[in-house]
Amino acid sequence: MNLRTNPQAEQVRKSPLHLSVTLLLVSALPALASKPDSVPDWVRAAAQQNLPQYPPNTNAVVLLEDTTYTVAPDGSATEHFRSVVKILRPQGRDEGIIGVPFDKDTKILSMHVWSIGPDGHEYAVKDNEMVEIGYPNQGSLFEDLRIKAANAPARDPGGVVAYEYEQRTHPYLTEKTWFFQSQLPRLNQSFTLELPPGFTHGTVWAHSKETAVIDLEHQRWRWQIKDTPPIDLDQVELRPSEFSLEGRMTVHYAGPTLPAPTEGTWQSIGEWYQTLAKDRLVATPEIAAKAKELAGDKTDFYDKTEAIAEFVQKQVRYFVIEMGIGGYQPHYAADIFRNRYGDCKDKATLLVSMLSTIGVHGALVMVDDRRGVIDPDAPSIVGDHMIAAIEIPKDYTSPKLRSVVTSKSGRRYLIFDPTWDKTAFGQLENNLQGGYGVLMEGHESQIIRFPVLPPDLNTVRRTAVFQLHPDGSLKGTVIEKRFGDLSEHRRELYISGDAKEQTKYLDHLLGQDFTNFTVADFKVQNAEALNKDLTTSYSLTADRFGKSMGPLLMVRPRVLGSDQLYADRKERNNIPINLNETMQEQDDYTIELPPGYVVDEIPNPIKLDLGFASYESSSIVKDHTLHYTRTYTVREVTLPADKYPDVLQLSGVIAADEQSKAVLKKQ
C-alpha cells in the first residue's frame, strides 16, 4: 500500500491490522472506465522513462516523487505532493492502493488519482469513488487520524499509478521531514521549500549523505535526489528496523511570528516541547496524597520511587486518545490520574508529576522503540514513544539502579518506561538499550544514549535431574528461572493466560525436543514480582528419548531448551546485525545412566569467545551419570556487517552442539 508518511501517521503506516483493513475495503472498489486524455502530462512523462535493470524480485519502482512545502507568514503550512509508481510484479499491486492520512488539523484540500494500464489505457478516479477510513478500534486506541484512500484501476504488472494531493499541515510544528527512501527503488525525487520573507531554515540528514541545495531565489530552495536504492530486509536474518536505515532530511524553519521554533538542535526541540507539556505536569492535591501514600515511611530513594513507578506502570491502563495536537501533547496529569488510563506520554507525565510531590525531579524523554531510528546527529521530533528520566540524588548508589545515564551537567538519571509493564523498575527494555532519546529539560535538553545492560540482568537458568531407562525413556524434574526481558512473554502468559493457553505453550516448547512426553506437577512462582526470578518447575516423562542401535543407546546431552541463533549465508550488503538483546542462558543437566550401560563416547567440549558473544559447553561422566553444562552469553546488541562471518560461526557451533550425541554401550 502506498501510504504517505508523517510522524503521527507513522504508526498507522506500519500497522499490519490497519493495512489489512484498508486493503480489504479499498480493493473492493470497482475498476473505472477509460477516460481519454485524463492523465496529466507530468504523469505521462514519468511513465515514459527508461528503467535501469532491477533485481527480478523488485515489486515496483517509484518513477517520480515531488514535494513542495509552503509556509505562510503565520507559521501554517501547505504540502503539495506528486507521486508516480510503476508496478513490475504481481506482488507490487498493493502500490496501486493509495492512502493519505489526515486529522482535524491536516485537512486534505485536494486529491487526484490516475493510472495507465499495461495496455496504455488511461484512468482517473473520481472524488466520489474515494473512501475515508478510520483507524480500527482495538480496545486501546481512539484517535481522529483517518485515511483518504482510493483503488487505482489497472494496477497490474506494467501499469503505472500516480496521485497528487494538497494538504494543510499541523500549525504547531516548525519542521518537516522528507522521507526519501523506502522498500522500493526511486528514480527521481525532489523537495521544495517555500518560506515567507524574514524566515530562515536549516537541514539535518539521517542515514544519508547531505545533498546540495538549489537556491531558486525569492525564499525558495530545492533538493533533488536520483536513483535512490531500496531498503529491503524481507529476506535478511538478524535485521534492524528498516526505518533505522531509511534516509531522511528534516528541515527546520524559524521566523518572527514563530514563538518556539525547533531550530535544528536538541535544545530547541526540548524547549519547543516544554511549551506543550509544562502545564500538563502540574500535580493536584489528589496526586500528592496518592504519592505520599505509596511512598509511606520509606526513606530510601529506590524504594519510594519504585512504589510510585509501579503504580503508574501497573495501575494506569494503556489507552490512547489522540486528537490533533494530542498526538504530541500529553493530557493533564490530573485527568490521567482520575481516569487511570493514558498513552505512553500520559503515563510518563503522571509519573513525573507524582514524583515531584515527594521531592524527586523527573523529566520526559522522547524515544523511538526501534533502535537506530533516532540519529544523534540529526535533531528532529521523529520518534514514536515517550518514557521518563528520574534524577538520582547526588552520591546515592544502589545496585538496583541499572539503566542510568549522566547528562552534560553531571546530573544522573534513571531511565524508566512506565508503559512497558513487564520490565522491572531500575531496568530498561532491550529494544531501547544502545539507542538514543531526547531528554526534555528545557534549556538543558539534550540527546542521551541509553546504556546496554550487562548479560546477567537478562537470564535463563535451566537445571534438571533425569533418570534414563534401558528402553530409552527419560524421567525427571526440571526447574527454569528467568529474569529480565527473557521472562516477559512467560510472565504475561502466566498472569493473563488461562490453563489451556499455558498448557498449549509448554507442549509447543517441549514438542521441539521430544516426540512423546507427559508433564505433571507444573508450578509457577513470582510471575508478577518483576524484580524476582520467574520460576517454573515440573516433572517430565519422555518416551524414546534414547535411540537404540543394537547394544548402543544414543542420547542427547542437551536434553531440552534451544539457544539457536538463526542466521543464513546471504550477503549483508552493509546491513548492521541486530542481536536484539544482551543475555545469558545456562543449562545444567544430570542424566543417571540405566543399569548395565556405560558411556562409550561423549561430545568434545566447546569454548568459543568472539567478544560480542561467547558459548561453551561440556559433557562429563561421573558416578554413573552424564553431566552436561553450557553457557551462552551475548554482550552486545548491534554489530557492524563485517562481523557476520563470526555470527555464522557462532550459529554453526550452537547448532552442532545442540544436536551432538553421547553413545552409551551395554556391558
Q: What is the pLDDT of residues 293-307, one digit of tens each?
A: 999 999 999 999 999
Angle formed by the axes of helices 499-511 and 488-496, to 10°?
Answer: 140
pLDDT for the residue 7: 42
Q: What is the pLDDT of residue 380?
A: 95
Q: Per-residue DSSP letters for 501-532?
A: HHHHHHHHHHHTT-SEEEEEEEEEE-SS-TTS
Per-residue pLDDT averaged across 146-166, rounded? 95
Check residue 324 and give its pLDDT: 61
The domains of the chain, with CATH numbers, are: 2-48+60-259 (2.60.40.3140), 267-453 (3.10.620.30), 456-666 (2.60.120.1130)
CA pair distance 201, 195, nearest whole angstrom: 9
- What pLDDT, on the 0 to 100 scale, is given for residue 327? 78
Sign of the alpha-carbon dihedral angle for 270, 274, 276, 282: positive
At residue 64, the pLDDT reads 97
Average pLDDT, the chain: 91
Grid coordinates representing 592 are: 543417571
| pLDDT for res 14 | 38
The C-alpha angle with vertex 26 and arms to 24 and 32, in degrees rounded to 5, equals 135
The answer on pLDDT for 591 being more than 50 is yes
410-465 pLDDT, tens digit per residue, is: 999 999 999 999 999 999 999 999 999 999 999 999 999 999 999 999 999 999 99
Residues 6+ apart with CB under 8 A from 487: 422, 533, 534
Per-residue pLDDT of 502-528, as tens digits, reads 999 999 999 999 999 999 999 999 999
Q: In percent, how much of the chain has pLDDT > 70?
A: 93
pTM of the model: 0.90
Q: Is the pLDDT of residue 30 over 70?
A: no
pLDDT of res. 517:
96
pLDDT, one tens digit per residue, over 531-540 is: 999 999 999 9
**Which grid coordinates are listed for 568?**
543464513
Averaged pLDDT, 645-649: 95
Q: Within a 10 A sphere around the Cβ of 447, how many other Cβ atoms?
A: 21
Question: Pairing state of beta strands 320-322 and 317-318?
Answer: unpaired
Q: How confident is the model at residue 104 (pLDDT cuts 50, 70, 90)?
A: confident
Residue 563's pLDDT band, with cuts at 50, 70 and 90, is confident
Give mean pLDDT, residues 133-147: 67
Which of 483, 568, 583 is closest to 527 using CA atoms? 483
Q: What is the pLDDT of residue 334?
A: 97
Q: What percentage of the chain reaches a pLDDT higher than 90? A: 84
> Where does the pLDDT of residue 136 fall: very low under 50, low under 70, confident under 90, or very high at 90 and above?
low
- pLDDT tens digits, 358-382: 999 999 999 999 999 999 999 999 9
Place of cell 518514557: 387
Q: Is the pLDDT of residue 1 over 60?
A: no
| pLDDT at 574 > cutoff 90 | no
Kindly state the average pLDDT of the residues 586-614: 96
Identify the pLDDT of residue 352. Answer: 98
Tell me: pLDDT of 488 over 50: yes
pLDDT in tens, 176-192: 999 999 999 999 999 99
Give DSSP secondary structure letters for 434-502.
Answer: T-EEEEE-GGG-EEEEPP---GGGSEEEEEEEEEE-TTS-EEEEEEEEEEGGGGHHHHHHHHHS-HHHH
Instruction: Inform me whether the pLDDT recorded for 16 exceeds 90.
Output: no
At 173 the pLDDT is 84
**pLDDT confidence of residue 323:** 64
Task: Report the distance separating Cα 392 and Cα 204, nearest Å.
Answer: 33
Other beta carbons within 10 Å of 563: 20
Q: Is the pLDDT of residue 23 over 60?
A: no
pLDDT in tens, 190-229: 999 999 999 999 999 999 999 999 999 999 999 999 999 9
Is it the case that residue 172 has pLDDT exceeding 90?
Answer: no
The answer to whether residue 145 scores a pLDDT higher than 90 is no
Question: Which residues contact residue 200 at a Cβ distance below 8 angstroms, ignoring those fewer than 6 apart?
Answer: 253, 254, 255
Residue with the bigger pLDDT between 236 and 184: it is 184
Are 106 and 146 within 8 A, CB to CB?
A: no
Map grid coordinates 491536516 to a residue: 106
8 or 176, higher pLDDT: 176
pLDDT band for position 142 (cuts 50, 70, 90): low
Among 25-34, 173-182, 485-494, which stretch is predicted with the lowest mean pLDDT?
25-34
Residue-level pLDDT at 141:
59
